[in-house]
């Protein structure tokens, strides 16, 4: 047993050293082979800048893009959870009509490229639905406080239509995967739980809300966390419709400064910080829920 532990630790050290060696070799080849001059000292000024009028440090392009990515991810996740839960319930319904709706939604969206879906929603929602609803006119007619609220929690008023179309398209795309997660979670609950709830006189809604869903949520939490992380990464694709999120800001900075590696490594680290934070938070929530139900 001790020998196995020692071998396992040695293997871990070897893997870490190999990764470090590969990273150092890549950096060496960039410097020697491509004659690339690293300019990391320029990156901090694109993270924060000092506003002389306000007398304080404020977010610059990269941090602004990061905040937009977080907004997209939060609102997209909330809306995707609504779509996914509703369609997941449709998928396990006894009604053939509801099951056909849920199945059609899943098969259509999961077999469609997300870029195509985003472009369809962008040109349809932004150009047709938003002017019809008068969203832009309403926002610009609101008070300064309301516009500031919209800017903080959503997007600048000038980009609100594009932001909404991006959120809806991301939510519909990710909702198809959440649908299958919810369906599998509900169907994984033992048949005896359904029978016991029915024997106690619970209605179908009460059985689902009080007995089945609490058990299903505990089981589907890890894959839901993975889907949320996937949505954070997939949000980069909305840069094609000029949403000023992290990837879009990186493209703009790269075109202006030619700091290819510094900018993309910084962006990769920012994405990594978000996703790792979400993973740790969900892991702790999963442990706490396990203790609660235990």
Q: For residue range 19-67, list pLDDT tens digits in order.
A: 888 888 877 777 776 677 778 888 999 998 888 877 788 888 899 999 9
In the chain, what are the domain boundaries?
A: 1-34, 37-293
At 290, is the pLDDT very low, low, confident or very high (cuts 50, 70, 90)?
low
Query: What DSSP state is assigned to residue 101?
Result: H
At 291, is the pLDDT very low, low, confident or very high (cuts 50, 70, 90)?
low
Residue reference for tokens 């999120």: 245
Report pTM: 0.82
Task: Give the right CATH number for 37-293 from 3.40.50.300, 3.40.50.1820, 1.10.3720.10, 3.90.1150.10.
Answer: 1.10.3720.10
Q: Are 155 and 235 in contact (CB under 8 A)?
A: no
Q: For residue range 111-160, list pLDDT tens digits in order.
A: 988 888 888 888 877 777 777 777 777 787 888 888 888 888 888 888 88
Q: Is 56 helix (H, G, I), strand (E, B) or coil?
A: strand
Nearest residue to 85 (alpha-carbon basis) of 245, 216, 190, 252: 216
Torsion-angle region of 72 (φ positive above 0: left; ψ -120 to 50: alpha; else: beta): alpha
């Amino acid at each position: 047993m001790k020998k196995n532990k020692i071998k396992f630790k040695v293997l871990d050290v070897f893997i870490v050293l190999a990764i470090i060696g590969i990273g150092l070799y890549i950096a060496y080849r960039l410097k020697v082979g491509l004659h690339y001059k690293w300019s990391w000292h320029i990156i901090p000024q694109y993270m924060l800048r000092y506003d002389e009028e306000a007398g304080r440090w404020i977010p610059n392009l990269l941090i602004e893009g990061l905040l937009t990515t977080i907004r997209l991810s939060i609102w997209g996740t909330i809306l995707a959870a609504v779509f996914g839960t509703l369609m997941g319930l449709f998928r396990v319904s006894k009604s053939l009509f509801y099951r056909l709706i849920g199945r059609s939604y899943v098969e259509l969206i999961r077999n469609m490229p997300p870029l195509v879906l985003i472009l369809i929603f962008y040109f349809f929602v932004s150009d047709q639905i938003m002017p019809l609803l008068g969203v832009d006119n309403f926002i610009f007619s609101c008070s300064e406080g309301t516009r500031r609220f919209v800017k903080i929690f959503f997007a600048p008023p000038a980009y609100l239509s594009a932001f909404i179309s991006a959120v809806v398209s991301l939510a519909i795309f990710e909702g198809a995967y959440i649908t299958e997660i919810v369906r599998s979670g509900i169907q994984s609950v033992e048949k005896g739980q359904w029978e016991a709830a029915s024997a106690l006189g619970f209605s179908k809604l009460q059985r689902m809300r009080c007995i089945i869903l609490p058990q299903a949520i505990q089981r589907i939490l890890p894959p839901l966390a993975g889907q949320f992380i996937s949505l954070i990464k997939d949000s980069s694709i909305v840069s094609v419709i000029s949403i000023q999120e992290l990837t879009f800001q990186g493209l703009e900075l790269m075109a202006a400064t030619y700091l290819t590696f510094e900018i993309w490594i910084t962006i990769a680290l920012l994405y990594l910080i978000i996703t790792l934070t979400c993973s740790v938070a969900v892991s702790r929530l999963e442990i706490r829920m396990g203790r609660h139900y235990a």
